[in-house]
Structure 1
Amino acid sequence: MFDSSTIAVVIGTFFLAGTVKGTIGLGLPSVTMAVLTLIIDIPTAMAFLLVPSFATNLWQATVGGHGRAIVRRIWPFLFMATLTVWLGAQALTRINLSYLSVLLGLLLIVYGTVSLAGPRLTLSRRREIWAGPIAGMFNGLLAGMTGSFAVPGVMFFQAIGLPRDKMVQAMGILFTASTLALAIALRDSGLLSLAQGQMSAVALLPALLGMALGQRIRRRLSEQLFRRIFFA
C-alpha cells in the first residue's frame, strides 16, 4: 500500500491534470507523469494513470459528434500509434528507468519549446497519407517508454489542420487507444499490481472533477485564446 502523503499528492496531481485536460483537451498523462515521477518510478506512475486516463479520454472521445469522420481520416496514424505502445513498453524492463525519466523530461521540454517558439508545420492531404503512420509509430514507442501520449501525435493533428473541437476529440480517441495498449503492455511485463490498480481507481474522481471544471473554462474561451493556451 501507499502512505497518506503519496495518496494526497496523487489526488492533487490528478485534479490539476484533469483541469488542464478539460481546458485544452490534453495534459493528463503529461502533467501526471511530470509530477508523479518526482516521488515514484515511471512504471508505477503509468499504472496510476490507467483508470483516469481511460475514463477521461473515453469521455472526450465520445463528445463532439465527429468520431467517425476523425477515425476515417487518422486511422493509419491511430493504428500504428496503438500497435507500437507494446514495443515501447518493453524498455521498462530492459533499460535503466533513470534514462527513461530523462527521456520523459526531454519530450516535455521539446514539445513545450516547439509549441511556443517553433514553426507551425502544415501537411497536405497527400503528405498526410505517409506521414500519419510514421508519426503514429513514434507516438506509440514514446508512449510505451514514458507514459506521455502527446508527442508527436498532437503536432501531427495540428499539422493537418484539425479545428478545435475535432482536435480535442481526436486526442481523446488517440489517448483512449493508447491507454488500453499501455495497460496490456504493463500487464504482460508484470508491472501492474492490484494495489496500483486500486490507487488508479482512487485517482479517477479527482481527475473527473478537474476535467469538468476545465470544460467549463474551455467553453468560455474564444478560438484564438484557446490556441494561445494550447500552444503554451
Structure 2
Amino acid sequence: MLSAGVLAWIGAVFLAAGFVKGVVGMGLPTVAMGLLAVTMPPAQAAALQLIPSLVTNLWQLLTGPSFGGLCKRLWTMMAGIALGTVTGAGLLTGAHTGAASAGLGLALVLYAILGLAKAGFTAPARHEALMSPLVGVATGLVTGATGVFVIPAVPYLQSLRLDREDLIQALGLSFTVSTAALAIGLFRTGALASPSAQLAGSILALAPALAGMFAGQALRRTMSVETFRTVFFAGLLALGVYLVGEVVL
C-alpha cells in the first residue's frame, strides 16, 4: 500500500511529465521514468507510466493526418522496436536494477546533449530500408532496459525531414509501439508481480498526466518553445548525471 506522500509524489511527477509533453510533443515517459526512478525500482516506475504513456501517445498518433502512410513507411522500424523491447525488458528486473538505473541516466544525458546541441543529420532515402529496422531494434533495447523511448528513435525520425504534423504523428506511432511492447516485456519477465495493483496505479496516474498535457498545450501557444526546450534538456542532463552518479558512487 503506497503512502499518501508517495501518491502525492507520483501525481506531481505525472503532472510535470504531461506538461512537458504538452509543450514539446514528447517526453512524458522520459520525465516520469527519470523522476520516479529516484524513489523506486525502474521496473515499478515503468509499470506506472504505461497507461498515461499509451493514452497520450495514442491521442497524438490518431489525431495526425498520415496514419496509413506512416505505418507503411515505418513498419520495419516498429517491428524492430517491438522485438528489441521485449528482448531487453529483463534488464529492468531483479539484479539488473542498478544497471538499468545507470542506463536510464546515460540515455537521459545523451538525449539532453543532443537536444542542447541541436544535433541532427539527414538520412538518405536510399538507406532508409536498412536503417529503419536497425534503429528500431536499438530503440527497443534501450526501451526494454531503461523504460525510455527516445534514443535513437527521435533523432532518426527527425532526420527523415518529415513535415511538422507527420513528425508528431510518427513520434506518436513509435512511442505507442514502445509502450505496448514494454507492457508485454514486463509481463513476460514477471516484473508485474501484482498486475492489478500496478494497473490501478497507472490508471490513477492518467488524470494528472492529462491535466499536465492540456496545461502544456495552452502554455505552448503563449511562450517560446525553444526557451522551454533549453530548460527541459538542461534539467534532463542534470537528472541523468544524478542517476548515473547514484550507481557509480
* TM-score, scaled relative to structure 2: 0.86
Provide Cα deviations, 1:95-153, integer angstroms capped at 9, x if missing partner.
52111101100010011112222642111111122111111100001101100011100
Match of 1:200? 202
Match of 2:162? 162
The offset of 1:216, in angstroms, is: 2.5
Match of 2:236? none
Match of 1:175? 175
Match of 1:9? 9
Identity of aligned residues (%): 38
Matched, 1:88 2:80: no
AA aligned opposite 1:202: L
- Distance in 1, matches of 2:33 and 2:8, equals 16
Structure 1 residue runs of 5 or longer lacking an equivalent are none
Matched, 1:138 2:133: no
- Distance in 1, matches of 2:92 and 2:24, equals 29
* Kept in 1: contact 2:88–2:142 (CA 8 A): yes
Match of 2:244? none
Match of 2:62? 62
Match of 2:43? 43
Match of 1:109? 109
**Cα distance change, pair 122–230 in 1 and its aligned pair in 2 (3 A):** farther
AA aligned opposite 2:70: I
Provide Cα deviations, 1:73-106, integer angstroms capped at 9, x if missing partner.
2121111112221101022346521111011000
* TM-score, scaled relative to structure 1: 0.92
Query: Any idea what SS the aligned residue of 2:49 has?
Result: helix
The offset of 1:188, in angstroms, is: 1.5
AA aligned opposite 1:83: L
* Kept in 2: contact 1:84–1:137 (CA 8 A): yes
- Distance in 1, matches of 2:178 and 2:3, equals 29
The offset of 1:219, in angstroms, is: 4.4
* Kept in 2: contact 1:24–1:168 (CA 8 A): no
1:182-193 superposed matches below 5 A: 182-192=182-192, 193=194
- Distance in 2, matches of 1:28 and 1:51, equals 11
- Mean Cα deviation higher: 68-77 or 15-24: 68-77
* Kept in 1: contact 2:65–2:165 (CA 8 A): no
- Distance in 1, matches of 2:30 and 2:122, equals 24
- Distance in 2, matches of 1:24 and 1:214, equals 8
- Mean Cα deviation higher: 138-147 or 91-100: 91-100
* Kept in 2: contact 1:86–1:181 (CA 8 A): yes
* Kept in 2: contact 1:82–1:178 (CA 8 A): yes
* Kept in 2: contact 1:47–1:196 (CA 8 A): yes
* Kept in 1: contact 2:43–2:93 (CA 8 A): no
**Cα distance change, pair 172–118 in 1 and its aligned pair in 2 (3 A):** closer
Structure 2 residue runs of 5 or longer lacking an equivalent are 234-249
AA aligned opposite 2:211: L
Q: Over the residues paired in the alignment, what is the CA RMSD in angstroms? A: 1.8
- Distance in 1, matches of 2:129 and 2:225, equals 28
- Mean Cα deviation higher: 81-90 or 146-155: 81-90
Provide Cα deviations, 1:165-217, integer angstroms capped at 9, x if missing partner.
21111111111111111111111111112222111111000011111122223
